[in-house]
Structures are given as structure tokens and as C-alpha cells.
Structure 1
Amino acid sequence: MTDAAERLARLVRTPLGGSLPLRIRAWDGSEAGPPGGPVLVVRNRRALRRLLWKPGELGLGRAWVAGDLDIDGDLYEALSRFFGAAPNLTTTRRDTLRALAALRDTGNLRLAVEALRLAGSPVPPAPPREEARRRRGRLHSLRRDREAITHHYDVGNDFYSLILGPSMVYSCAYWESPHATLEEAQTAKLDLICRKLGLRPGQRLLDVGCGWGAMVTHAAERYGVTAVGITISEEQAAFARKRLAAAGCSDRAEIRVQDYREIEDGPYDAISSIGMAEHVGSVQFRAYADTMHKLLKPGGRFLNHQISCRPHVDGTPYRIGEFMDRYVFPDGELAPVGTTASVLEEAGFEVRDVEALREHYARTLRAWVANLERGQAEAARLTTPGRARVWRLYMAASALAFEQNRIGVNQILAVRTTPAGNAKMPPTRQQLLTAGAMA
């Protein structure tokens, strides 16, 4: 009887056009496929059942999270090979039936039957417990957004500290030097934003989606502003308040558990939104832009730091994949940078500066993955082994997506001009980036 690895290889070759991107090692210890490089380890038949019941990205993701699939070797190389061979993964059970029908039509009915036989039990496995529960209510309503944020961010501050390092900044760093540490690069990013906003002592800053309080603390401590940070994560807020207290900034900065739609104490001199707008969604983005515009004083600046996608040729909106939606960022959405800039202008902003930081995010993600891999056992202890596997896969895959220009990240600096049209901006970009008084 043919060993399991060769049987799996024969099943995979047809949808991939006859070649295997990775060597396969099956649950019986057998191997098949090209020698050298990383190996896809199929630990049990349950992995195949997951793919038959939920083909494509979600089935693969569930098998990975559950530990049914693993990679022996370099994860980045394995992902590059796999997505190069299968850029368009099937996503429905109907697609699986079509694939089986294709096997039948090419005279390979035996392979179609073998796929079902090799999977063992026909009963579909339950999804791993790390999968987001079924969401209720209108997309991007206050309640639904809180549920989505809780799934991603309220998994333990110690877990995030292990991945992000002492800065506790969960957004793209700014690598001014190839020799900079992650901590230095994150500090440089915060300082870049403060300079673009032109922060000065006595000004009032709002940080929307403040995370663990790094921007609020940096701006209050180094630029002398009075700052308000908002988040809808209880765990983030608790950490950020302690951070402010430790820095001696509690008298001029505060953290609120509050949605951006609930802010009523404007106007502010400046607003930062760093890695938050991806959670807003296209159905709410104009309302978000209108709210930011309303909360600013005339002449005030708004810095929107946001991941972007490349526009589809046919104009269809971008949707994050099923794995990301179920395990990482429920209801998260990306938009092309041009779309974001256009909506900001429709809301009344004048866009003054756009800076692409795509390569910076790839390096940031690789640093986070390295932190997680060094502390994999501790990460599993702090959360669950499955969640540690989710974060490793999604961050490694995201690093490759930035490196391969499939997604980007941009800082858009926009201004609410005065009634006379004055933007109160320095005359040159060089002066913009050197402005800002240190407290």
C-alpha cells in the first residue's frame, strides 16, 4: 500500500498544476515531494478532514492553529513557496467538489475516492477554540466593534509584552538606522508623528486607539502637551494608566475606555490615529473622518497611520482573508491609500503629506516574530498554544505581504484649514519634519 505522504502528494499535485512547492511528511513518518528546504508536516488525518470540510485558507488556518499542520524549517520560505504555488486558495466546499469532479473528468476517479478515504472519519472537526465567536448585530456597530477588539487585544498584556518588547507599541516602527533596535525604531516612529503634528507645550492632543499608551506618554513627557488617549480595550487602558503614572504624566494625560464616536470634548489642537483605522471599516470611514475633522481646531493637524491594500483592477472592495477574519482581526478592513486620502478630503481635510513605510513594517513584523519564537513556550503558557501559533503565522505572513508589495502602510498628514484657508503649515517638508518643541 502506498504510504500516506505519497498519497497526499498525488492529491495535491492536481490543484497545484502538477508540482509540489514543499516536501510533505505524513503522520506515518513517510515523506514525498522535492528534497531540501522546509517540510510541511501533516501530523494526522484530521488536517485533511479540515481541508475537505473548509477548503482553502480557513481550513489550512484551522489545521495550523490546532497543531494538525506544522512547518519543519524556515517558516518564511515555506509561506513564500506555498503562496507562490497557490495564490488563489479555494474557499468553499463547492470548490472542493469541483476539484474532485476535475479528478473524475481526467480519469482519476480513484484519486477522488482516495481523498475521502484518506481523511478517515467523515465528521468535520470542531474549529479550534481560538476562533472568534459568531458576531452579532450590524457591521461596525459600537457593540460589534467592542467584541472584535476584545477578541484581538484582551488576550493578556504579558503576552503582548513578550512579542512587542518594552515599548508595547503595536504598529509599524520607523527604522532610521539599519542598526537600530526595535525599541529605538518605535521611539523614532512616535517622535516622527509628534514632529509632523507640530506638537508644542500646552497644546491638547487626542490619540485615537491609544493602545498601551506609548504615544500619549511620549507626547506628554517629551513635548509637554496635555493628552487624551482612548481605547475600547479594558486591558490596554489599565496598562496605559500605569504607564502614565510611572512616567509622572498622570497630571497632564488621561486614558479613557471610549469609542471615537463617543468623544464630545473637542476641539483638540492635534489628533493622532496610529494603526486604528483598519478597524473602522468602509461603511463607517466617512463618519470617522467627519468626527476627526469636527474634533480639531481650525489649523489643527490629523495624522492617520494606516495599513493599505493595493486596489483591485476591477474595482471590487478588498476583504481580508477568512483566517485573518476568524482568528486575528474580526471585521478588519483595508483600503487603498488613495481611497483613504479621498475620504479625508471629502470630510473637509486638506491632505498635506503622505509617507509610505511599507518596508519598515516588514522589518517590524520580523522583529516581533523573532521575539515570539524565542519565547514560544512562554507565549503558549500566557495564552494558549493555539493562540501563539495564530500570532506566529499571521505576523510572518504579513511580513511577506509587505515585502512583496501586496499591502502597504502610510502616514497621511491632513489639516483642518482656517475659514480663510490657512493651513498653518511650514513652507517646506524639511521644516515640517524638524519642527516641534521638546518640553
Structure 2
Amino acid sequence: MTVATSLATPADPETGLIAWAERGLIPDVALRSGIRRLCAQRLQEESAGGIEAQSARFNQCLEQLAGSPVALHVDAANRQHYEVPAAFFQACLGKRLKYSSCYYPSGRETLDEAEVAMLELYGERASLADGQHILELGCGWGSLTLWMAERFPGARITAVSNSHSQRQHILEQCRLRGLGNVEVITCDVNRLELPAGRFDRCVSVEMFEHVRNHAQLMSRIAQWLKPDGALFVHIFAHRTLMYPFEAEGGDNWMGRHFFTGGLMPAADTLLHFQQDLRLQRRWLLDGTHYQRTADHWLANQDAARERIMPILEATYGRPAARQWWNRWRMFWMACAELFGYDNGQQWLVAHYLFRPR
């Protein structure tokens, strides 16, 4: 799942430019320009006071994470993304329904090609292989789960999601494709319990941004892995800054509608939680890969308006459907402009490979 800028709003969310944008009254070029200004404002605010002040805020955030549950506002995340009908995402995402950054090695890939390119990159970097028992935390609409099940028919895939609709979708796809090596568990990650020493690999794609207590989750994962197992993580991140999406004392459009309880990690955030798992390797991809992904999602939504509007009406109610049409468009644009900011050199995609100590 994806991401956000500050997109702060006035105390009354129905006033101001955000309300105009939600009614579709602001041209895309102006809206994108405003998002870029908010990106610059976020960088200025988070960098205020120089390196010592930044370090103090970073350490304070680490302390807050240590005292948090594994994840916050899981139900809100479900409502905002994971219980929206699959039909909406089938219209907006690529063929494999990858709801996370794709990979554009040449910059000319189609969305479908970029989905496969990133999935293959996971397989290479996580050293996935036939015969393994693989745990996927936060499986989304099954893009990686189904790819692994097809690529490695002798592997066993255990996928975990907190969404009943995602489980139903994945199991139906397994039935249609004749895949019998997939188990899907619906569970809040705060309450997830699995047998110790069971898995050769654990993979997680854009789920750790919903996590607040990384140390606790990584300790659990270390117990679930075999001694020679590995954890592969894909997250989006800022190259140096870490901050929650909800600004203290203020409203936040992105946090309220799309990313309640979410955290923007820094590229080195997970490096602070190696008590049970040690880092073997880290890779960084510049943000233009996510920029292209989100722009493709936006183009798909625009091209499928007649197909999508009845879905939004059934999901949000007829009076709110147009507003949500515009909100989703704003969300894709916010993702594209955030990750495209400074030619992708600020916000980015990070991959990590951890091994049990």
C-alpha cells in the first residue's frame, strides 16, 4: 500500500481548497503544484533546527515506537483500502493487482510489465525457491502470493491479511488457476500467532509502514523462521526522515482518509531493530518507480470512469461517489508527486534482507 504527503486541511474539512479539489473544481496541474509545495513544506518542517534537532526528533520517535502495539488503527486501514471492492482495484491497478510500487528498469515498461519486474526482483533478492515454506505478511490482493505459488509449485505459501474480501479474492484466484499450495489467514497482526521454526522465508511488501512496534514484530518473525531462514521487506521511506502521517494538533487529509495510523519510515529505521534479526543487505530504489506506478493507476482510473462509478456508488453511497472519485484521483496524484519530488531522491523504495541471529 502506498503513501502520502501532509495534505493538511483547515479545522473544518469542508472548507478551503481541499473541499474544492474533492468536488473536482481544481485542475490537475494546479493540484499537483500544490502537492509539491506541501512536499517542500514537509521537508522544511521535518528538517527544522538542523541536524541535532532532527536527531532528537528521530530518537523520540524511536522511543514512542518501542511503547506502541505492533500496529495502530487496523480497522481504519481495512475500511480505507482493504475492504474496498476488488473490482475497483481491478480497474485501477495492473493485471496482477499489485497495490505497491512497481519496478521500471528502463522507464518505458507498461504497468503490467513493471508489476512482473518487481515481483521477479523480490524472488531474486529474497532467494525464493521451490520447496520452501514462505510466509507473506500483508498479502494485499495476492500479487506476490499468486506469483510465488505459480513460479514455485513445490513451495507452500501462507499469506496473512486483515481483510476478508482479500482472502476471498485470493482463494478464488487459486481455484481458477488450479493452485493448491496457498493458505490464507485473516488476522489482525497484533494477534497473529504462528508455529515456531516453521518458515524458510518471510516476505512483506508495504506492510511495515502500518507497523509501530517494529522490534516486537521482528522478534516474532525471528521465532517463526527456521534457523537458516530469512526476512525480506519492501517499504517506502524517506531517505533520512521518519514521521507519523497524522500531524499533532492538526487535521490531515491523507491520514484521515487513506493512511490512519501510518508511519513514514526513514531508510534506516529498520536498522535500529536488529535484536533478533540482523541485516544482511539493503537496496534503495529512487522514488521515480513509485511515481510512474501511481501515474499509471491514475490513468487507469480515468480511462475506466463508467466502470468505476457504480462501484463507488455501491461502496460509499450515491451522494458521496463523486467526492470519492476525486479523492482517489487526489490520492494517486499525491503518491506520484511525493515520490517524484526532487527526481525521486527524497522519498523512495527500500528493500531489506534480514537473517536470524
TM-score by length of 2: 0.78
Q: Which residue of structure 1 lines up, in the alignment, with residue 129 of structure 2? A: 200
Paired residues for 1:325-364 under 5 Å: 325-343=255-273, 345-364=274-293
Counterpart residue type for residue 26 of structure 2: I
- C-alpha displacement of 1:85: 5.4
Structure 2 residue aligned with 1:70: 25
1:274 correspondence with 2:231: no
Contact kept, 8 Å, 2:204 with 2:232, in 1: the verdict is yes
Secondary structure (helix, strand or coil) at the match of 1:70 reads coil
Give the corresponding residue for 1:393.
330
1:54 aligns with 2:12: yes
Residue 402 (str. 1) matches residue 355 (str. 2): no
Matched residue type, 2:121 = L
CA distance in 1, matches of 2:33, 2:127: 45
In the aligned structure 1, how far is the partner of 2:69 from the partner of 2:258? Answer: 16
Contact 1:208/1:271, CA 8 A, preserved across alignment: yes
C-alpha distance in structure 1 between counterparts of 2:136 and 2:116, whole Å: 16
Q: Using the TM superposition, give the Cα deviation of residue 149 of structure 1 relative to its aligned residue in structure 2, in angstroms.
A: 2.0
**1:237 Cα deviation after fit:** 0.9
The worse-fitting range, judged by mean Cα deviation, of 230-239 and 196-205 is 196-205
Question: Larger Rg: 1 or 2?
Answer: 1
TM superposition shift of 1:143: 8.4
Corresponding residue of 2:34: 82
Residue 287 and residue 260 in structure 1: after superposition, are their counterparts in 2 closer, same or farther (change >3 A)?
A: same
Measured in 1, the distance between the counterparts of 2:284 and 2:303 equals 32
Q: Distance in 1 between matches of 2:121 and 2:178?
A: 23
- The yes-or-no answer on 1:295 pairing with 2:224 is yes
Specify the alignment match of 1:421 in structure 2.
none
Distance 1:244 1:81, change over 3 A: same
* Match of residue 120, structure 2, among 182, 191, 213: 191
TM-score, length basis structure 1: 0.64
Q: Distance in 2 between matches of 1:230 and 1:156?
A: 18
- What is the identity, as a one-letter code, of the residue corresponding to 2:169? F
**5+ residue gaps in structure 2?**
1-8, 43-66, 313-320
Aligned to 2:183: 254
1:78-106 CA-partner distances (Å, limit 9, x unpaired): 234334556549xxxxxxxxxxxxxxxxx
What displacement does 1:53 show? 4.8
Computed over aligned residues only, the root mean square deviation of the Cα atoms, in angstroms, reads 2.7
> Shift of residue 139 of structure 1?
7.1
Contact 2:284/2:348 (<8 A) preserved: no
Q: 1:85 to 1:299 in 2, by over 3 A?
A: closer
- The Cα shift of 1:356 comes to 2.2
Tell me, in whole angstroms, the C-alpha distance in 2 between the residues paired with 1:395 and 1:58. 22
Say whether 1:416 aligns with 2:356. yes
1:117 aligns to what? none
Structure 2 residue corresponding to 1:180, chosen from 97, 105, 109: 109
SS in 1 for 2:30: helix
Count of residues in correspondence between the two structures: 307
Cα separation, 2, equivalents of 1:148 and 1:381: 23
Which residue identity does 1:333 align to in structure 2? L
| Alignment-derived partner of residue 61 in structure 2 | none
The Cα shift of 1:158 comes to 0.5
2:203 matches 1:234: no
Q: Distance in 2 between matches of 1:394 and 1:191?
A: 27
Counterpart of 1:166 in structure 2 is 95
CA separation in 2, counterparts of 1:179 and 1:290? Answer: 40
Identity of aligned residues (%): 24
Provide the rounded CA distance (Å) in 1 between the counterparts of 2:134 and 2:336: 31
Letter in 2 for 1:264: L
Kindly provide the CA deviation profile for residues 128-149 of structure 1, in whole angstroms up to 9, marking residues without a partner as x.
xxxxxxxxxx975778313332
Q: Which moved more, 1:353-362 or 1:190-199?
A: 353-362
The CA deviation at 1:58 is 8.6
Question: Aligned letter for 1:263?
Answer: E
Residue 238 of structure 1: how far off its partner (Å): 0.8
1:323 aligned to 242, 253, 259, which one? 253
User: In structure 2, the residue corresponding to 1:199 is in which secondary structure?
Assistant: coil
Matched to 1:274, the amino acid is V
Offset of residue 156 of structure 1 = 1.0
Aligned-pair distance for 1:59? 4.8
Amino acid at match of 1:158: A
Give the deviation of 1:317 after TM superposition.
3.6
- Alpha carbons of 1:247 and 1:357: their partners in 2 closer, same or farther (altered >3 Å)? farther
Displacement of 1:174 in angstroms is: 1.3
Measure the CA separation in 1 of the matches of 2:109 and 2:36: 32
Q: How does 1:90-129 map to 2 (within 5 A)?
A: none
SS for the counterpart of 1:165 is coil
Q: Structure 1 unaligned runs (5+)?
A: 1-50, 90-137, 418-439
Query: What are the Cα deviations for residues 293-343 of structure 1, in whole angstroms up to 9, with x where unaligned?
Result: 22111121111101112434xxx7443561111111111111101112222
